Structure 1
């Protein structure tokens, strides 16, 4: 059981000092654009991931004209209450604490409060570059497997060092050959670990996404989802050895798990080229709701589900169908933002959800 009972915001985005209480399974957050609905969801995301969902920099989330912010949430986790606190100091140093005890590393917190977000800009997961789908996959696996997160951090650190060495060599015309070979070897352990965990996981995950897509679309379509990685054909060691000359010329590591992708096709063609807006949205929901299902299965805790303005350009039937799945078939806590409180109330009444509405 995971429930967020309350949250307090100090100097966070447009909130000077505000406390919210959450008492129901479903929490609707209503108000006009610009009043802070998305900001409230982002504060919840901070408590789950130690960072923003919508911006890479902590500083941009500090209320204008002030220094630092503080977010504090009271959670019930496995029938025990605990307080999570995220503080950005005036010096821009960030701290994260559970019941007053600070983490040595923020990565230790990932997975404690599992969370799934669906937001309008998430459409790039379908239409964007491979980096978007890798990020989605890495976030999911990091929430269910702490070792995966540590191996991913190690891989990215070594990759950055190797790329910096290649760029420096291009600038100076010289390369520390011994260091280059050491970094190349060091990539192998985390790289192979990441590949093995991704390939094992996606064997069961991708068919689940396809089934969920069919449920949401309410009809069979010729859609396929495949894991795309050069490591499926050749060992990572052999790939790195074969690409050394190319890496030196392009000043970056051109092969590895940082190049993997999930190939999505419709009728044998790239999905993003053929799919309608409704099909893209259906696939996005399928990916995210399958993520929620898998995290629940693996962690035995139902993740918090944050839905930000997801009803845009959906017809009434699709809205009702979506709400039924996320509010009635899912027993976890759900937070939903909408500009139209009457519409949201009507739909939640219709499915007999246990809900409350917060007006901003």
Structure 2
């Protein structure tokens, strides 16, 4: 069992100094907009990922007018207590550690205390460009496989280096061909590893998403999810050679695993242009709950589940299906935010699930 016992926030967003303890598996945070519900969820996420879920820089997470912040939390994992601490100093230096031992590489923390967040803006995974779907896939696999995360970090650095050489060639007409060859070879090796790992993961992941979608939506709409990659039909080394002239002209590496995508379809049409808002929400929840289930299967314990304003844009039936999934079938710890205390309380009481509601 993995459980967050308590968390304290000092100068984090709108919190000067606050501490919260959690005694139930299901905790609701309710209050008006601007009361700090989402900030509290993000602080919990921060403890698991060493950064904000919403892409804020470290300094942007400090309370307005302050130069730093501190987060402390106690978690219980497999009957052992762990103290997690994050400090952002006034000079901008961040320290992050567990049990009084700070990391030299923050990436080493990812996956130790797994967490899944569902927020309103996550619909971008479905409606926006491929980068959002790649990021979602990468964050999930990174919680399962530290080697994948490090290889992904290496790939992105190599991609930047190759693109810089391409720009240099376009600007000056000169390039270090030996260096380009070395960087391209390393890029190919890293890209091949990432493609193989993504393919393996998605073979397991996609059927879980489809089953969850049908369960939440309550019907049998024909949903399709297909992994698209340039590496499916060609060797990565050949791809780079074939596109070299194009890459030079555009000053960037035009093909590779950094362009991978999940193609989403509904009744043989593109999902993003066909689906209703309710269907988009159902697919979003299916993707995120599939992430939860795969993490549970591989870790042997459920990750934390953070649900931010999930009551918006879902009808009553779909909401009941979702809450049943996350609060009854799920044996892990769930945190839910809502602007209406009475609505949240009534929904949890109808499920007859043990819970606590914290008004902010």
- Scaled by the length of structure 1, the TM-score of the pair is 0.99
**Which residue does 2:17 correspond to in 1?**
17
Deviation at 1:316, TM superposition (A): 2.3
1:127-159 Cα deviation digits (max 9, x unpaired): 010000000000000001111111111111111
**Which residue does 1:85 correspond to in 2?**
85
Question: What CA RMSD, in Å, does the superposition of the two structures yield over aligned residues?
Answer: 0.9
- Do the aligned partners of 2:5 and 2:22 also contact (CA within 8 Å) in 1? yes
1:237-292 Cα deviation digits (max 9, x unpaired): 11111111111110001111000000001121110000000000000000000100
**Which residue does 2:264 correspond to in 1?**
264
Gaps of 5+ in 1: none
- Separation in 1 of the partners of 2:162 and 2:50? 28
Deviation at 1:190, TM superposition (A): 1.0
- Scaled by the length of structure 2, the TM-score of the pair is 0.99
Deviation at 1:180, TM superposition (A): 1.1
Are residues 1:251 and 2:251 paired? yes
- Separation in 2 of the partners of 1:340 and 1:318? 18
- Separation in 1 of the partners of 2:285 and 2:65? 38
**Which residue does 2:111 correspond to in 1?**
111
- Separation in 1 of the partners of 2:305 and 2:171? 48
Deviation at 1:201, TM superposition (A): 1.4
- Do the aligned partners of 1:8 and 1:20 also contact (CA within 8 Å) in 2? yes
**Which residue does 1:351 correspond to in 2?**
351
Gaps of 5+ in 2: none
1:147-196 Cα deviation digits (max 9, x unpaired): 11111111111111111121222222321211111111110111100000
Q: Which runs of 4+ in 1 moved over 6 A?
A: none
- Separation in 1 of the partners of 2:151 and 2:316? 44
- Separation in 1 of the partners of 2:354 and 2:193? 43
- Do the aligned partners of 1:13 and 1:63 also contact (CA within 8 Å) in 2? yes
The SS at the match of 2:174 is coil
- Do the aligned partners of 1:206 and 1:225 also contact (CA within 8 Å) in 2? yes
- Do the aligned partners of 2:215 and 2:321 also contact (CA within 8 Å) in 1? no
**Which residue does 1:274 correspond to in 2?**
274
- Do the aligned partners of 2:218 and 2:318 also contact (CA within 8 Å) in 1? no
**Which residue does 1:226 correspond to in 2?**
226
- Do the aligned partners of 2:42 and 2:53 also contact (CA within 8 Å) in 1? yes
**Which residue does 1:303 correspond to in 2?**
303
Deviation at 1:299, TM superposition (A): 1.1
- Separation in 2 of the partners of 1:356 and 1:319? 19
Length, aligned pairs only:
360
**Which residue does 1:158 correspond to in 2?**
158
- Separation in 2 of the partners of 1:32 and 1:102? 36
- Separation in 2 of the partners of 1:334 and 1:259? 34
The SS at the match of 2:23 is coil
The SS at the match of 2:203 is helix
Deviation at 1:55, TM superposition (A): 2.3
